[in-house]
Structure 1
Amino acid sequence: MPHIVNHPRRLVTALALILLPVGALAAMVTSEQTDGPLRCEIRVTPQAGMVALQPLVRTDRPVSGTYRFQVESTGGSGGSNIDQSGAFDASPGHAAPLGSVSLGSDGAGYRATLDVTAGDSSVRCTQRIGGSI
């Protein structure tokens, strides 16, 4: 029997070191809430005390359009709002990044909303991250 098993504290530490990267990978969240030829998603990736949010658009055909990405945060000592918008071009088979936001993950909660419009099509994705909003 390995020597580490005789010491429960060492076993727990070893398991934590092994499972931590697995947990971080599992914590990467993607919110893809739309179906159809125009789809949006909000990718959430934890990063060393921060959380990165990346709005993406996918399509079945080449399109041009506009987007609005809003992030509301609350918790800690207050709240803040982030608002990004602009034009985009997307082609089939590739997720088109529309921007990015990096936020502290110190117990705050976030609600992200992505609105995408291309021609007569509009889609919305929402994602809640951390805290209690």
Structure 2
Amino acid sequence: MTQLTRTLPLFFGVGIVAIAASVGMASSDTNSLRCDIAEQNQNGMRTITGSVFSPQDVSGEYRFAIRSASNGNSSNISQGGAFSALANEAVSVGQMMINADARYSVDFSIIVGGQTVACTQNGARFT
């Protein structure tokens, strides 16, 4: 799985900025499934959300984990489970909040059709 580390906020403002990357999926072309990580900063907190988009109905499993450190404190938060996404509709599969000034790393992946997709803000890829 790919791990993303950030020491300074990449996105500012109250709007969610999503960075999407195309990845392959079993039984479809290699540009059909996308997974995204979006950030939103507001009132001293950063919300980090994982989402999935597909041009066809899809179901699978996800793992969404964040490690953060701020002001001498640290935390590890993990979420995971099954998801389903209708064709052409993005679905949120995990969301967490941390201090906006925290250093953090995100580990977000999905499994569809037996293939694992590692999702990052810089792209997504099969592993």
- What displacement does 1:40 show? 0.5
Gapped runs of 5+ residues in structure 1?
1-22, 129-133
Identity %, equivalent residues:
32
The equivalent residue for 1:85 is 80
- The structure with the larger Rg is 1
Cα RMSD of the aligned pairs, angstroms, is 2.0
The secondary structure found in structure 1 opposite 2:13 is: helix
CA distance in 2, matches of 1:56, 1:68: 11
CA distance in 2, matches of 1:111, 1:29: 17
- What displacement does 1:34 show? 3.5
TM-score by length of 2: 0.72
- Which structure carries more strand by proportion? 2
Length, aligned pairs only: 104
Q: Which has the higher contact order (CA 8 A, sep 6+)?
A: 2
List structure 1 segments (4+ residues) > 3 angstroms apart after TM superposition.
none
- What displacement does 1:51 show? 0.7
Q: 2:110 is matched by which residue type in structure 1?
A: V
- Which structure carries more helix by proportion? 1
The secondary structure found in structure 1 opposite 2:73 is: coil
TM-score by length of 1: 0.69
CA distance in 2, matches of 1:63, 1:127: 22
Gapped runs of 5+ residues in structure 2?
1-11, 24-30, 123-127
